[in-house]
Amino acid sequence: MKIQDLHSAFLANPSISTDTRKIKTNDIFFALKGENFNGNRYAQKALDNGASLVIIDEEDYILNDRTILVKDVLTSLQQLANYHRNHCNAKVISLTGSNGKTTTKELIKTVLSKTYNTIATKGNLNNHIGVPLTLLTIQADTEIAIVEMGANHLKEIAFLCEIAEPDFGYITNFGKAHLEGFGGIEGVKKGKSELYDYLTLNNKTIFLNADDTIQLEKLSTYTKKYGFSSENSKYYNIKLVEAQPFVTLKVKDTIIKSNLIGAYNFTNCCAAIIIAKYFNVDFNEVKSAIEKYTPDNNRSQILNTNGHYIILDAYNANPSSMTVALKNFHSINKDRKVLILGDMFELGHSAKEEHQNIADLTEKLNFEQVLLVGENFYLTNTSATKLKSFDHLKDYLEVNQIPANSTILIKGSRGMALERVLDFV
């Protein structure tokens, strides 16, 4: 089946599924493969559960005229997404970066939705499967699509750009994330900059943080850029007022008080403001949108539990995000500060050094209590309490309760699932 014919079928039933357990009536099921599964085997189940079509790539699973054989299911999904992206009129804004992608995406969606029919990546569906699925949610009346792009190897962002063909782009930052796949910080810079490479090659508009010397240097000769800065008068001026703990910023003579904790969220707010300004969204609407936005999904959530003031930032962690989170936690005006930190994943050969650096920083900042959880933190040389696994943390807290009315920062990589500790503090 040609992509244009598949697209016609999609327009008739514009809903995609890759999981037979979640199929809705008339979904098109794409039988993706992975290391431990083969979606082709579920072709009959997909039809039984209501799928209108099933896209397969193994002849043995042809059932009837509702099973469509293609050379490669994943490639067909990606080609369909690209075809649909070009069939629709929506402008595509892509963003990537080491930290803050999802929060920035949600902020941009929040402000642009005040004026435009806007869709955005759901959750963190930002890879070679998630990006196509996001593009396939663009509807005829969608005006702006915000597409988050994640990567842990070189050439991934470049590939995602070929699928999404963004009209605009923004990079949050370059940090120590996925060092194992990128081969170090220089690999991170090169990999994330693939978005810049695509945009500059195609003469598209780039949004930038002009206070980031890496971004400013890479785009020094490029003219189609639109940025913000705290100091540089060539760019739209936005000032950080405070983060105690919530970010308050000043745009000209107007104060905006967000519900986001940490100075590291300042630039995320700035990106949303500058993009909204570019698209001529009323400033009062932008101010209102940012002030009403409340984070969720374990990202910088503020919780009051059993008398404790808890900052739950357990969605993910890497050395860069961990460092700024610790420094921000140290700076806020709260008593009895307690850290519960989990291992940072995908650091490869840098894992030992980076975990030791974080352990050293916790000692330097002199928190009242520090609990380090995970096999990597367990190997560090530190006076902090080290616990080899989450189960060990649970056992420890059952015997050693955190002092009443403490201020607690909980942060670790997604695989640590440290939000579970809320049941024990």
CB burial of 82-119 (b: ≥16 within 10 Å; e: otherwise) equals bbbbeebebbbbbbbbbbbbbbbbbbbbbbbbbbbebb
User: Is 117 in the same domain as 42?
Assistant: no
What is the Cα–Cα distance from 366 to 397, expressed in whole angstroms?
A: 21
Task: Let me know if residue 83 belongs to a domain.
Answer: no
323 and 230 co-located in one domain:
no
Do 316 and 235 share a structural domain?
Answer: no
Domain assignment present for residue 124? The answer is yes
Residue 162 covered by a domain: yes
The strand pair at 246-251 and 254-261 is best described as antiparallel
Domain boundary among 45, 73, 101: 73
Same domain, 119 and 261: yes
194-201 helix and 156-164 helix, angle to the nearest 10 degrees: 40
Q: Supply the pLDDT for residue 176.
A: 67
One domain for residues 47 and 142: no
* Residues 374, 262 within the same domain: no
Both tokens assigned to 415: 């695989």
Print the domain residue range for 217: 88-292
Question: Would residue 330 count as lying in a domain?
Answer: yes
Do 135 and 267 sit in the same domain of this protein?
A: yes
CATH at 398: 3.90.190.20
Q: What is the C-alpha separation between 186 and 385, in angstroms, rounded?
A: 33
State whether 324 and 349 are in the same domain.
Answer: yes
19 with 146, same domain: the answer is: no
Is there a domain that residue 112 lies in?
yes
Q: Evaluate whether 119 touches 92 at the Cβ level (below 8 Å).
A: no
Kindly state whether residue 343 falls inside one of the protein's structural domains. yes
Domain boundary among 292, 315, 345: 292
Please indicate, yes or no, if residue 81 is contained in any of the structural domains: no
Q: Are residues 220 and 161 in the same domain?
A: yes
What is the total count of domains within the chain? 3
CATH code of the domain covering residue 28: 3.40.1390.10
Closest to 362 (Cα-Cα) out of 309, 402, 414, 322: 322
Cis peptide before 245 (omega within 30 of 0): yes
In this structure, what CATH number is given to the domain that contains residue 206? 3.40.1190.10
Final residue of a structural domain among 292, 316, 334: 292
- Mind listing the pLDDT tens digit of every residue in the chain (425 residues)? 789 999 999 999 999 999 999 999 999 999 999 888 899 999 999 999 999 999 999 999 999 999 999 999 999 999 999 999 999 999 999 999 988 888 999 999 999 999 999 999 998 789 999 999 999 999 999 999 999 999 888 899 999 999 999 999 999 988 766 666 667 778 778 888 999 999 999 999 999 999 999 999 999 999 999 999 998 999 999 999 998 889 999 999 999 999 998 888 999 999 999 999 999 999 999 999 999 999 876 777 888 888 899 999 888 888 988 998 999 899 888 889 999 999 999 898 999 999 999 999 999 999 999 999 999 999 999 999 999 999 999 999 999 999 989 999 999 999 999 999 998 88
Asked if residue 151 and residue 45 are part of one domain, the reply reads: no
Same structural domain for residues 163 and 257? yes
For residue 223, being part of any structural domain is answered with: yes
